[in-house]
Amino acid sequence: MKIKISLLAVLVMLLAACENVLDKQPLDKISEATFWLSPADAEAGIQACYDALQCVGTSKNLSYELWGMMDCFTPLAHARDGGRFQIASGTFDPSNAVVAEVWASAYRGVVRCNDFLMHIDDIPFADNEAGRKSRMKGEASFMRALYYYQLTLIFGDVPLILEIQNVSEAMVERTPQAQVIQAIYDDLDVAINSLPESYSGSDIARASKGAALTLKTKVQLLEEDFAGAAISAKAVIDSDVYTLQPSFPDVFNMQNENNSEVIFDIQFISFVQDGNCFDKMYATRAHSSWGWTWIHPSLWLVDKFERIDENPQYTIEDARIQPEVYNYFEGRDPRLDWTIIRPGAHTIGEGNVDMLYPYGVTGYTHSRTGMTVRKTIIEGDGGIAYDSPNNWILFRLADVLLMYAEAKTETLSGTITDASVYDAINEVRSRASDKLPLYEVGSLTKEEMIENIRNESIRELAMEGWLYARFKRWDWLKLNDGFKLMGMKTNGDICTFADSPILTCQYFDYHKWWPIPQQEREINPNLTQNPGYPE
């Protein structure tokens, strides 16, 4: 396993994050002795820690494979083909290219963070910049914790590497998950104690104390430390730094990026080789990014959205959408139509042309289920193939409110009378629609509240990539066992429900952990394989 990268390779990556460094030394003269010398070098280094998150110019990157596609590995959606299709269908093995990319991309981020943390104390900062230095240590510690959280969430035991290694040290063994998680907690403690609560101006995208507390909440939930998770989540809520946006679509509006609900996101900008690939992968061929429609939402997901109008009127102007299809989708929680594009819905295509979905979207890139993603794409003009400018939100307040409600409820028993639990879930529901009934304090048992929180999390967070972790925690990944993916079909111009499953998925208990990539084990024979997968 190539955990060690040469210093020159690391420095080249750092230079890519801060091009003015090129003015200081010729590229072939860069070395440990000439780089880690000034606060400007430290800034280039910390930017490289963030940059490992990005999905720039290609779909093969951590942000795309992890957060972009993770819902496809649950009953919420399915993937088009390739390695992602194999994982979603339960037919993947250690040779899967997506598995290898997730591993390599996460460790790429770890290496950059390790390199930064090993050298930051060698750089002289002015006395009045001690706070800046401490903050940057916190940023790198947070980023390393984020990379390791994703690694241990997916693979379980993974090599724990906290410094740059030489060749003789590179053949490491996997570290028990408990030790990895303790290292994550250690990094998060550093981050929480050294990061500010908020930023402004050009620093807006940096990791904050709230981001570190949000990640700590996710780790504690993974560990089923519900009391600790409730405390961490409540600290974010009570900080008064974050507020829900007035309406659900405001959260994802590109003109409203870095809004008050966003705790941490991945930043992108077009035309400087720093745009994202999400738009290309998720949009349809009719949108300006000429998308590939990689994600195919399921009818199982649609059924999770409550009906708030039991008798929708068939008012659609195009008879190609059959009444039974129209009535199935209409009258539901409006977050459904803000999350996916489905038959009978309108979308804005290339040239800002209004189009009735699915007409005008055909061929290879058309979704097998007859539905595609709306939440994270740019509709109309503005999306650019492999170079779209919209940020990808990783942490937001609504997620924290729902995690708090879940964690707090898990510490209780019997009828739930804690008003803070009801306040948290009702705040999310009331933002979605004033027609959604709110829960009255004392009206739900623990089991009923947990069920409602789980369904609310699906409605609020679908297609954002974080529900996979919840499904694993809830033991819901096994819902994929024998899961029949259903959808719509078009006969001529008439859109109807498909008569038979598009495919049937399989799930085995050992799929809880992904396989250790075959290519990594060929390089490093000390890496053992997860149970159930071929050696």
Indicate left, alpha or beta for 359 from its phi (over 0: left) and psi (-120 to 50: alpha).
beta
What's the rounded mean pLDDT across residues 391-395?
A: 94
Distance CA 397, CA 395 (A): 7
Nearest-CA neighbor of 114 among 176, 30, 49? 49
Containing 485, the helix (H) or strand (E) segment is strand 484-485
Express as a percent the part of the chain with pLDDT over 90: 66
SS3 state at 110: helix
What's the rounded mean pLDDT across residues 347-361?
A: 83
The predicted pLDDT at position 2 comes to 26
The predicted pLDDT at position 484 comes to 94
Checking if the pLDDT of 44 tops 60, the result is yes
The predicted pLDDT at position 269 comes to 85
Position of tokens 């399921």? 298
Checking if the pLDDT of 275 tops 90, the result is no
SS3 state at 382: coil
Q: Model confidence at 28, in pLDDT bands (50, 70, 90)?
A: very low
The predicted pLDDT at position 140 comes to 99
Least confident of 49-53, 205-209, 526-530: 49-53
The predicted pLDDT at position 169 comes to 82
Express as a percent the part of the chain with pLDDT over 70: 89
Position of tokens 């109309």? 380
Checking if the pLDDT of 290 tops 80, the result is no
Distance CA 323, CA 314 (A): 7
Q: Model confidence at 384, in pLDDT bands (50, 70, 90)?
A: confident
- In eight-state DSSP terms, residue 227 is H
Q: Model confidence at 14, in pLDDT bands (50, 70, 90)?
A: very low
The full 3-state SS of 395-433, as one line of letters, equals EEHHHHHHHHHHHHHHCCCCECCCHHHHHHHHHHHHHHC
Residue, of 479 and 364, whose pLDDT is higher = 479
Question: Each residue of 211-249: pLDDT tens digit?
Answer: 999 999 999 999 999 999 999 999 999 999 999 999 999
Q: Model confidence at 133, in pLDDT bands (50, 70, 90)?
A: very high
The predicted pLDDT at position 355 comes to 86
Least confident of 45-54, 255-264, 427-436, 438-447: 45-54
What's the rounded mean pLDDT across residues 256-279?
A: 87
Q: Model confidence at 362, in pLDDT bands (50, 70, 90)?
A: low
What CA dihedral angle connects 95, 96, 98 and 99, to 10 degrees? -60
Residue, of 197 and 170, whose pLDDT is higher = 197
Checking if the pLDDT of 3 tops 60, the result is no
Which of 16-25, 26-35, 64-73, 262-271 has the highest average model confidence (pLDDT)?
Answer: 262-271
Q: What is the mean pLDDT of the chain?
A: 88
Checking if the pLDDT of 445 tops 60, the result is yes
The predicted pLDDT at position 65 comes to 63
Q: Model confidence at 18, in pLDDT bands (50, 70, 90)?
A: very low
The predicted pLDDT at position 265 comes to 95
The predicted pLDDT at position 66 comes to 67
Buried b (16+ CB within 10 A) or exposed e, 297-313: bbbbbbebbbebeeeee
Q: Model confidence at 375, in pLDDT bands (50, 70, 90)?
A: very high
Checking if the pLDDT of 448 tops 70, the result is yes
Checking if the pLDDT of 379 tops 50, the result is yes
Least confident of 55-69, 477-491, 521-535: 55-69
Checking if the pLDDT of 390 tops 70, the result is yes
Residue, of 62 and 53, whose pLDDT is higher = 53
Q: What are phi and psi of 491, to 5 degrees?
A: -100, 105
Distance CA 176, CA 183 (A): 11
Peptide bond preceding 358 in cis form (omega within 30 of 0): yes
Residue, of 419 and 385, whose pLDDT is higher = 419
What's the rounded mean pLDDT across residues 469-485?
A: 96
Residue, of 473 and 370, whose pLDDT is higher = 473
The answer to whether the predicted template modeling score (pTM) of the entire model surpasses 0.85 is: yes
Residue, of 285 and 398, whose pLDDT is higher = 398
Q: Which CATH class is domain 7-195+513-523?
A: mainly alpha
The predicted pLDDT at position 434 comes to 94
Checking if the pLDDT of 368 tops 90, the result is no
Distance CA 398, CA 245 (A): 9
